[in-house]
């Protein structure tokens, strides 16, 4: 059933209430035809925005102290409610974004899977970071007090979604899921490129808040004029952290605003990455056509609009590299441009392609066809060399879309030098065989300083959502390299430690109480003690 049975209202949702914005209206657009979509979305003004942040602040105390089971069940309800409207969601999102339904079905599963993964994190509880140091009254020269540490949520979080992942990095995406899992109420600034998708997800989340008996301020969804309401949200004193996925310009603007507040707050912005791929010569001894097709598939999927798109590819200068680039030319010749997310994004992509084409020492080596819909630029691969790359910063600029730059390199030393000159990236990929290990080994420490994830023999697109993933990296890939926006570690972004010294057990929060009612793993005197082992030991002692 993909018939749309949901009536969209065009309203914001502030603490469970539908609110008609008094700050103008906007419309979604079908980017494949450039036609406006109904309904009109009314935009909130700053007074209405302040209702959302005030409600989030009000919700904080109870939400941050939820029992893990209630908390996890809420996240699971959110997932179930989203799944229940899956076909409607995918249909609307596909119309609003131009992304194909198959891709959106996968993204939806990732989004609900992510909410459930965080539910399991909440139940498991290691993110609470419990550390105990029992009192040592006899310690010399001074007795040691009883000290207990745990992590608490930062406070209400502002989240800005991405245009390119209308589910997984948007209304109930990774930032929202990890902030809610941490115990932080969320005020979500709806993405105006997929307003209907946002509304459907917003209702699913709001319903989960209600069904779970939580304070309605736990989640609000506001439509607003991009820059002004976004800035107002980040300036709001109730907001204690920001999650953002989008452009470098918008991300750095939010960083500046957050740093200039009377009380500066952390901003987790995932922004710009060209995801270098390093191809070693021995790899090109195999089937270069297959390898070229895989590159083109990674490059053109979702019309190239992925943060981990392989925008930069280092290939050996000479015959093998040339043969590979010729194969890329063959593979890309058949590729047709696909509708991009918005007319603005398509125009930026074309402008980026034009600018790169104009650089001295840069040539087009492969070119696809313009798509048959609106906003579907032809995919393209350029080529240049390390000296040009190292001296012209335009070659390091991200082109958001299906455009990539191949750089011919002469030696391993030249490769390492180019890597050292790169800005921070989300990923770096190595294609190599065992014969290249000695050559590649010195590159690893260089890449560790530049990127969040290093891959071997795989393309960077496709980010697994799990416990060991890092989707992050040094600036400008993100605003804060100390974390990730995908995977379970993302919950740490919204937590801070608090210590309790000699506090009577009756006044302590559950995570640090003597009898460990939440069955948490705890670090005691610097050594991890697993809850299971503690319980086994206690049972042993009792029997």
Q: Which is nearer to a copy of itself, 333 or 499 (CB)?
A: 499
Which stretch, 86-94, 170-178, 300-308, 446-454, contacts a copy of itself (CB under 8 A)? 446-454
- By beta-carbon proximity to a copy of itself, the closer residue of 170 and 479 is 479
Among candidates 160, 176, 50, 35, which has minimal Cα distance to 111? 176
Answer yes or no: 307 catalytic: yes
**Contact positions with a copy of itself (CB under 8 A) in 181-220:** none
Residue (228 or 439) nearer to a copy of itself, CB: 439
345-374: contacts with a copy of itself (CB under 8 A): none
Shortest CB 136 distance to a copy of itself, Å = 10
How far apart are the C-alpha atoms of 514 and 134, rounded to whole Å? 10
Site string for a copy of itself, 254-293 (x = CB under 8 A): -xx--x---xx-x---------------------------
Q: How far apart are CA 381 and CA 403, in angstroms?
A: 6
Q: Using the 8-state DSSP alphabet, how is residue 142 labeled?
A: S
Closest contact distance (angstroms) between CB of 146 and a copy of itself is 9
Q: Tokens representing 61?
A: 């105390």
Whole-number Å distance between alpha carbons of 352 and 348: 6
The alpha carbon of residue 424 and the mean position of all alpha carbons in its chain are separated, in whole angstroms, by: 16
Contacts of 177 (CB under 8 A, 6+ apart): 75, 114, 115, 118
Q: Establish if 133 lies at the interface with a copy of itself (CB under 8 A).
A: yes
**452 makes contact with a copy of itself (CB under 8 A):** yes
59-88: contacts with a copy of itself (CB under 8 A): 60-61, 64-65
- Listed in order, strand segments (DSSP E) in 422-462 are 425-431, 451-456
399, 404, 410, 411 alpha-carbon torsion, rounded to 10°: 80
Contacting residue, 332, 376, 440, 491, with a copy of itself by CB under 8 A? 440
Could you tell me if 135 and 502 are in contact, meaning their C-beta atoms sit under 8 angstroms apart?
Answer: yes
Q: Any contact of residue 451 with a copy of itself (CB under 8 A)?
A: yes
Residue 535 in the binding site for a copy of itself (CB under 8 A): no
Is residue 126 a contact residue for a copy of itself (CB under 8 A)?
yes
Which residue of 11, 215, 408, 453 would you call a contact of a copy of itself, by CB under 8 A?
A: 453
Give dist(CA 50, CA 45) in Å, integer. 9
Under the criterion CB under 8 A, does residue 131 sit at the interface with a copy of itself? yes
Give the shortest CB-446-to-a copy of itself separation in angstroms: 8
The secondary structure of 216-273 as a DSSP string is: GGGEEEE---HHHHHHHHHH-TT--EEEEES-HHHHHHHHHHHHHSSS---EEEE---
Tell the smallest beta-carbon distance from residue 466 to a copy of itself (Å): 5
What backbone phi and psi angles, to 5 degrees, belong to 357? Answer: -60, -30
Per the residue annotation, which of 96, 281, 307, 414 is the catalytic one?
Answer: 307
Nearer CB in complex with a copy of itself: 319/467: 467
> Which of 393, 300, 315, 302 is closest to 355 using CA atoms?
393
Residues in 93-112 at the binding interface with a copy of itself, rule: CB under 8 A: 106
Q: Which stretch binds a copy of itself (CB under 8 A): 11-19, 81-89, 343-351, 444-452?
A: 444-452
420 near a copy of itself, rule: CB under 8 A: no
Task: Please identify, using beta-carbon distances, which residue of 398 and 480 lies nearer to a copy of itself.
Answer: 480
Length of the chain: 543
- Considering only residues 454 to 513 of the shown chain, the ones binding a copy of itself according to CB under 8 A are 454-458, 462, 464, 466-470, 472, 474-476, 479-484, 488-489, 495-504, 506-507, 509
Q: How far is the CB of 511 from a copy of itself (least distance, A)?
A: 12
Q: Which of 364, 410, 449, 538 binds a copy of itself (CB under 8 A)?
A: 449
CB atoms within 10 A of CB 435: 13
Q: CA torsion angle for 349, 354, 357, 359 (degrees, to 10)?
A: -110
| Binding positions for a copy of itself, 138-167, rule CB under 8 A | 141-142, 144-145, 147-149, 152, 154-155
How far are the Cα atoms of 404, 440, 487, 496 from residue 474, in angstroms, in the given order? 21, 21, 17, 22
| Residues 6+ positions from 349 with CB-CB distance below 8 Å | 304, 340, 377, 399, 400, 401, 402, 403
Asked whether position 90 contacts a copy of itself by CB under 8 A, the answer is: no
Of 118 and 382, nearer to a copy of itself (C-beta) is 118
In angstroms, give the least distance from the CB of 488 to a copy of itself.
Answer: 7
Strand 147-153 to strand 495-501: parallel, antiparallel, or no bridges (unpaired)? Answer: antiparallel
The single residue listed with the structure tokens 């999102």 is 93
- Does 526 help bind a copy of itself (rule: CB under 8 A)? yes
On the CB side of 432, CA atoms within 13 Å amount to 21
Closest CA to 267 of 224, 231, 307: 231
Residue 249 Cα to chain centre, angstroms: 17
Task: Work out how close the CB of 28 gets to a copy of itself at its nearest, in angstroms, rounded to a whole number.
Answer: 29
Give the total of residues touching a copy of itself (CB under 8 A): 86
Distance CA 158, CA 175 (A): 9
By CB under 8 A, residue 441 contacts a copy of itself = yes
Task: Choose, from 51, 57, 76, 270, the residue flagged as catalytic.
Answer: 270
| Residue among 35 and 457 whose Cβ is closer to a copy of itself | 457
Residue with smaller CB distance to a copy of itself, 46 or 126? 126
The nearer residue to a copy of itself, 63 or 409, going by C-beta atoms, is 63
Q: Residue for token digits 């056509």?
A: 289
* Of 353 and 443, CB closest to a copy of itself: 443
Q: Which of residues 290-329 bind a copy of itself (CB under 8 A)?
A: none
**Beta partners for 456?**
430
Kindly state the tokens that stand for 196.
Answer: 């209907």
Which residues are designated catalytic?
270, 307
């Amino acid at each position: 059933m993909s018939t749309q049975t949901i009536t969209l209202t065009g309203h914001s949702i502030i603490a469970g209430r539908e609110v008609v914005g008094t700050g103008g209206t906007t419309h979604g657009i079908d980017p494949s035809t450039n036609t406006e979509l109904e309904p009109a979305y009314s935009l909130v003004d700053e007074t209405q925005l302040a209702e959302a942040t005030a409600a989030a602040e009000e919700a904080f105390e109870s939400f941050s102290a939820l029992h893990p089971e209630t908390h996890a069940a809420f996240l699971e309800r959110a997932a179930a409610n989203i799944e229940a409207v899956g076909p409607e969601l995918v249909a609307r999102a596909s119309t609003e974004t131009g992304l194909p339904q198959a891709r959106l079905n996968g993204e939806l599963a990732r989004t609900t899977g992510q909410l459930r993964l965080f539910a399991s994190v909440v139940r498991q509880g290691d993110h609470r970071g419990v550390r105990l140091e029992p009192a040592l009254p006899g310690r010399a020269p001074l007795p040691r007090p009883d000290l207990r540490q745990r992590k608490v949520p930062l406070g209400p979080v502002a989240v800005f979604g991405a245009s390119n992942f209308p589910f997984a990095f948007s209304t109930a995406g990774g930032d929202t899921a990890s902030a809610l899992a941490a115990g932080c109420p969320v005020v979500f600034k709806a993405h105006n490129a997929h307003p209907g998708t946002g509304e459907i997800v917003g209702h699913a989340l709001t319903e989960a808040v209600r069904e779970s008996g939580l304070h309605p301020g736990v989640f609000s969804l506001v439509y607003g004029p991009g820059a002004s309401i976004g800035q107002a949200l980040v300036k709001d004193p109730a907001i204690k952290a920001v999650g953002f996925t989008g452009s470098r310009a918008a991300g750095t603007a939010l960083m500046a605003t957050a740093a200039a507040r009377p009380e500066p707050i952390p901003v987790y912005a995932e922004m710009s990455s060209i995801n270098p791929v390093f191809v070693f010569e021995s790899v090109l001894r195999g089937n270069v056509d297959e390898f070229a097709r895989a590159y083109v598939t990674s490059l053109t999927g979702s019309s190239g609009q992925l943060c981990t798109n392989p925008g930069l590819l280092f290939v050996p200068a000479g015959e093998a590299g040339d043969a590979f680039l010729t194969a890329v030319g063959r593979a890309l010749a058949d590729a047709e441009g696909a509708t991009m997310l918005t007319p603005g994004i398509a125009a930026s992509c074309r402008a980026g392609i034009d600018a790169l084409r104009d650089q001295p020492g840069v040539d087009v080596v492969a070119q696809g066809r313009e798509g048959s819909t609106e906003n579907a630029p032809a995919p393209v691969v350029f080529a240049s060399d390390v000296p040009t790359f190292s001296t012209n910063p335009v070659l390091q600029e991200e082109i958001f879309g299906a455009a990539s730059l191949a750089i011919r390199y002469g030696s391993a030393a030249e490769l390492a030098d180019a890597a050292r000159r790169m800005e921070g990236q989300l990923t770096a990929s190595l294609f190599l065989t065992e014969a290249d290990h000695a050559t590649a080994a010195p590159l690893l420490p260089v890449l560790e300083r530049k990127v969040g994830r290093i891959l071997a023999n795989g393309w960077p697109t496709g980010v697994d959502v799990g416990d060991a993933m890092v989707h992050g990296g040094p600036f400008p890939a993100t605003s804060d390299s100390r974390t990730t926006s995908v995977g379970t570690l993302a919950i740490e972004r919204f937590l801070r430690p608090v210590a309790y010294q000699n506090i009577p057990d009756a006044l302590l929060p559950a995570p640090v109480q003597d009898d460990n009612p939440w069955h948490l793993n705890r670090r005691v005197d610097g050594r991890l003690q697993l809850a299971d082992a503690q319980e086994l030991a206690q049972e042993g002692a009792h029997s």
